[in-house]
Amino acid sequence: MKFGSYENFKTIINWRQAVPTAVTIAAMLAGFLSILSTIQGMVNEEPHMFSLAARLIMLAMILDGLDGNLARWLRGSSEFGAELDTYVDMTAFGIAPAVLIFAVTMQGRDPLWRVLLPSAVALSGVVRLARFKVKDPLRGQGGYAGLPITANAGWVSLFVFVTQTWYKDRSNLSEGPVALIFLAGILVFIVLQVTNLRYPKPTKKAAIFIPCVILVGLFCFLRRDYAAYIAIFMLIMGLVYAFIGPMFVKGMAIHKARKEAREANNNDDQ
């Protein structure tokens, strides 16, 4: 069989795999366009482009969750798709938020600090994804070790969107209590990314994923004033997930252990 032939391509990917792979590529494109939007906002001094960049990150996030579900529903999972997904995560949820932080949040600070925080976001994301790839062959199907990289990306994009919508000084959010909350949240999230705390995978459950799709759709396509309220709600959801998620996983593990113990006792009694 010749390399590059149609038959060889079919062994790599079929239509069941092509559909989720196309969604993954769309997520990658959304992340890349977010970076371009941020750069345009900086170069041309167009703050509204930062809001567009934030929306594109969230669009990439929902597409990233959709591709995995499509792969399971269509029975189209593949090593190629799993590998591609890692690059999407790094681009859309590691680099794009870091660039957005650099553009919007740190402009009034010392240049060193302006570089350090975005760098910490990018490096924490790299470590998180590398560990995920090496230590989790199930790719999160049994839960995540460490906070998913998407959580910090969501915090950054949603917070930036709200401040860009509600604050007059939309080009400099480096001072004041709002900026302090934002920066503290980033630091907490990037530390949680590299811990061993276990987190559930919400996109695996349709009852959770479908409402999230609706929320992100409203956030992406409603007028900015209305979308900001959706963003606040999703920010709260993200905080609940970040701080309650490990307790939920621990509670489920205890429940499972007790159930197995009861079943073992019943078998012994028989």
CB atoms within 10 A of CB 55: 23
Q: What is the DSSP string of 151-185?
A: HHHHHHHHHHHHHHHH-S-TT---SSHHHHHHHHH
- Say which residue the tokens 């900086």 belong to: 42
Q: Does residue 9 surpass a pLDDT of 50?
A: no
Asked if the structure places residue 230 within a domain, the reply is: yes
DSSP 222: S
Counting the structural domains of the chain, the total is 1
Q: Is residue 249 domain-resident?
A: yes
Instruction: Give the model's pLDDT for residue 153.
Output: 94
Report if residue 207 sits inside a domain.
yes
Q: Which of the pair, 159 or 79, is modelled with greater confidence?
A: 159
Residue showing tokens 């910090």:
152
Q: Is residue 1 part of a domain?
A: no
- Give residue 169's pLDDT: 58
Any domain includes 13: yes
Domain ranges, residue 173: 6-269
179-198 pLDDT, tens digit each: 888 888 999 999 998 888 88
Bigger pLDDT: 169 or 51?
51
Q: What is the pLDDT of residue 108?
A: 59
Query: Domain for residue 236, yes or no?
Result: yes
Domain-located, residue 252: yes
pTM, 2 dp: 0.83
Q: Compare 209 and 40 and report the one with higher pLDDT.
A: 40
**pLDDT tens digits, 211-269:** 888 999 999 999 998 999 999 999 999 999 998 888 877 776 665 656 665 665 666 55
Q: How far apart are CA 157 and CA 154, in angstroms?
A: 5
What is residue 191's DSSP assignment? H
Q: Indicate whether 171 pLDDT > 80.
A: no
pLDDT for position 32? 96
What residues form DSSP beta bridges with 198? Answer: 145
